Chain A
Amino acid sequence: MTPFKTHRGIVATLDRANVDTDQIIPKQFLKSIARTGFGESLFYDWRYRPDRAANPDFELNAPRFRGASILVTRKNFGCGSSREHAVWAIQQYGVKAVIAPSFADIFRNNSMKNGLLTIELQEAEVEEIFQMVGRYSGLEATADLDEQRVTLHLPEEISFHFTIDPGVKEHLVHGLDAIGLTLKHETAITTFEARHDPQWVAGRH
């Protein structure tokens, strides 16, 4: 996994709360057995009209958000289905970091596993970013994971500090291979299994 240290890019806003993973990547795209090719289908039902032309009413289709790589949205982003395809779609669209007042647990976990940074800010701070993005077309921001800071590159810069779980931070900063790390505890797992496996749990094939 690619390590995440800092990223600067255009900020796009999506003014909806409780965006569920069914919206992020609708079901018909989950039939793929590949891990790529989802970016085109991100927010499919909102993003395209029935004739598959871009829906001009969908916020992310606004010309000023072209090339955006930081997504700012409302609370409980990524709720619903556990589909990791949602994270793959966001990343393959070009987004490196998502900022919201809160995220759904499974989505946040999936993001970490793929190196997508999820930043939680206070609701008022998120609102301030919405205001600034509305005011300054093409506004860029820097998400600095080392410093745990989001900076809006306005004529007078504004910064927001964010907190992040130390385990998540370590994972992202170093781009760790989670399975490889766990396999280093092989002895501990084997020891645990020797004392844990009750007869009524072990598989009976």
Chain B
Amino acid sequence: MGQTLFEKIWARHVVQELPNGTTLLYIDRHLVHEVTSPQAFEGLRLAGRRVRRPELTIATMDHNVPTDDRTVIRDPISKAQIDALSKNCAEFEIRLYDLTSDHQGIVHIIGPELGLTLPGTTIVCGDSHTSTHGAFGTLAFGIGTSEVEHVLATQCLTQKKPKTFQVEFTGRPGPGVTAKDLILKLIGMIGTGGGTGFCLEYTGEAVRQLSMEARMTMCNMSIEAGARAGMIAPDETTFQYIGAAPRPFAPTGAAFDQAVARWRTLPSDPDATFDRTLTLNATQIAPQVTWGTNPGMVVDVTGRVPAPDQVPGASRRDVEQALAYMGLTPGTPMTEVKVDTVFIGSCTNARIEDLRASAKILKGRKKAPTVRVLVVPGSQQVRAQAEAEGLHTIFQAAGCEWRQSGCSMCLGMNPDQLKPGERCASTSNRNFEGRQGKGGRTHLVSPEMAAAAAIAGHFVDIRSWS
């Protein structure tokens, strides 16, 4: 019987099957950031352990970093955490892209940029959005701090093999419908626990025609459906992305050709079977907007805020709590919901194509006077590219703040936060209570939809935008 993409990668990384039904799995790349690693390094020190393969771990600082003036970190606790990462990387000889580096950025954005993310490999990071790297046909998943320490010490993880789940998007999405909308639609259908225990594989015409960056957006949010990993088979789009730009960690020349030949063997075999399959017709999917307090609470932009008894799979109490937190009245058309803030950024949507898409909408326009707009590029490389293309002048002319790279308002660990009651159109991945700041109200949308909301001051159907 044929194997799926996931099964092929898994099989190639089995160090040993263990008697209790788990597998000792080899990890090719380990990405580290300042928030989930200090206790892991401390654990190594306390146990007198070393890092087994320091050259396979790469670190950057992203969660805590200021995005205005990054030469001064005013919060002493943030600074201590950032300093701890520098100290730990120096002590354990791990390469670090720090705030002075022109490769610094959100860990899931710099991985692909640097060529660290390659098909057929395993990648982990102490961050749930590690699923992003699955866009390359990579088995990539988030881990906790104990597992960070485990990988540092052993370059392996003890894992139970997940089940496989194929999500096929047939047809081509209409204009204005992005990868963000496809994945939000899926999460709305299967819920935030619908992918628990599974590794997702996205297939179908709608996925094949996506750019690498759009595929990253899609895989990024696999965790919002509960799946630790989501992946897309590598193809010409993938090889082109890896080979076209200078990527210091990617193979070149003959090694690249050799690698591509091997990567071509990765896609799921035609006779491979999945534990679960689901098909969505992409031609029928509309731009999405979340209305509630988890990414599964989502509707078409043409829809309305639901009533407590209108949400399948959610209890009345949960919906009532979400509506109360969000300050929304059932029956309100989503396009009448006004926003105070727009955040364009995060590991979901802060790559160059995302900024181009937002800039295209904002070009020659002004944001609504009452709306604050933050544009936070995902990395210093993205920032430099955007500036080379003049995108920053478009944003600034429209009244947006053009920032340095980092996680920023996606989770508000740095000073970029919503105030209580503020409503935000955000290109990020989580609309949890308080995620962007205590009492803040988050609506997840695509970069195009966020930009349009910035101008109109409320959500608009990007398909009818002119």
Contacts and interface: CB of A to CB of B under 8 A. Distances in A.
Contacts of B127: 81-82
B1 interface: no
Interface in A15-66: 15-18, 20, 22-23, 26-28, 30-35, 45
Interface in A52-89: 74-76, 79-85, 87
Interface stretch (A133-141, A151-159, A188-196): A188-196
Nearest to B52: A189
Contacts of B327: none
A102 B211 CA distance: 35
A13 to B, nearest CB: 13
Interface centre among A34, A167, A204 (most CB of B within 10 A): A167
A201 B20 contact: no
Contacts of A31: 35, 64, 75, 77-78, 80-81, 413
A178 interface: yes
B315 interface: yes
B228 A182 contact: no
A128 interface: no
Interface in A98-134: 102-106, 109-110, 113-114
B348 to A, nearest CB: 14
A106 B118 contact: no
B261 to A, nearest CB: 11
B432 to A, nearest CB: 4
Interface in B150-165: 150, 153-156, 158, 160, 162
B294 A201 contact: no
A169 B143 CA distance: 20
Contacts of B143: 82, 106, 109
Contact of A201 (B118, B126, B196, B318): B118
Given A18-B294, A80-B128, A35 B435 contact: no
Contact of B259 (A26, A183, A185, A200): A200
B220 interface: no
A200 B250 contact: yes
Interface stretch (B21-29, B386-394, B445-453): B21-29
Contacts of A199: 251, 255, 258
A115 to B, nearest CB: 11
B297 to A, nearest CB: 9
A87 B144 CA distance: 10
A165 B21 contact: yes
A200 B26 contact: no
Residues of B in contact with A, size category? 35 or more
A148 to B, nearest CB: 15
B264 interface: no
Contacts, number: 200
Contacts of A196: 12-13, 26
B145 A15 contact: no
A170 interface: yes
A167 B20 CA distance: 5
Contacts of A189: 15, 24, 26, 52, 154-156
Nearest to A23: B433
Interface stretch (B36-44, B302-310, B454-462): B36-44
Contact of A179 (B15, B21, B150, B262): B150
B86 to A, nearest CB: 12
A193 B64 CA distance: 35
Contacts of B317: 15-16
B147 A18 contact: no
Contacts of A84: 36, 39, 126, 144-146
A79 B226 contact: yes
B146 A114 contact: yes
Contacts of B314: 17
Contacts of A18: 192-193, 294, 296, 318
B20 to A, nearest CB: 4
A17 B315 contact: yes
Contacts of B196: 76, 102-105
Interface centre among B47, B78, B413, B434 (most CB of A within 10 A): B434
Given A26-B434, A182-B154, A33 B38 contact: yes
A28 B78 CA distance: 9
A82 B193 CA distance: 15
A33 B42 contact: yes
Interface of A: 15-18, 20, 22-23, 26-28, 30-35, 45, 74-76, 79-85, 87, 102-106, 109-110, 113-114, 165-167, 170, 178-179, 181-183, 185, 188-189, 192-193, 196, 198-205
Given A22-B433, A182-B153, 9 more contacts: A18-B294, A75-B193, A110-B144, A166-B20, A167-B20, A178-B150, A189-B15, A192-B16, A205-B55
27 contacts: A22-B432, A27-B413, A28-B413, A30-B35, A30-B413, A31-B413, A33-B84, A80-B223, A81-B127, A81-B411, A82-B142, A82-B144, A83-B144, A84-B39, A106-B228, A109-B143, A110-B145, A113-B144, A178-B150, A179-B49, A179-B149, A179-B150, A182-B24, A189-B24, A192-B15, A196-B26, A204-B248
Interface of B: 12-13, 15-16, 18, 20-22, 24, 26, 28-29, 35-36, 38-39, 42, 47, 49, 52-53, 55-56, 63-64, 75, 77-78, 80-81, 84, 95, 118, 121, 126-128, 142-147, 149-150, 153-156, 158, 160, 162, 191-193, 196-197, 223-224, 226, 228, 248-251, 255-256, 258-259, 262, 294, 296, 314-315, 317-318, 321, 411-413, 430, 432-435, 438
Q: Which 10 A-B pairs have the closest CB atoms?
A: A203-B55, A200-B251, A76-B193, A113-B146, A84-B144, A33-B38, A167-B20, A110-B144, A82-B142, A84-B145
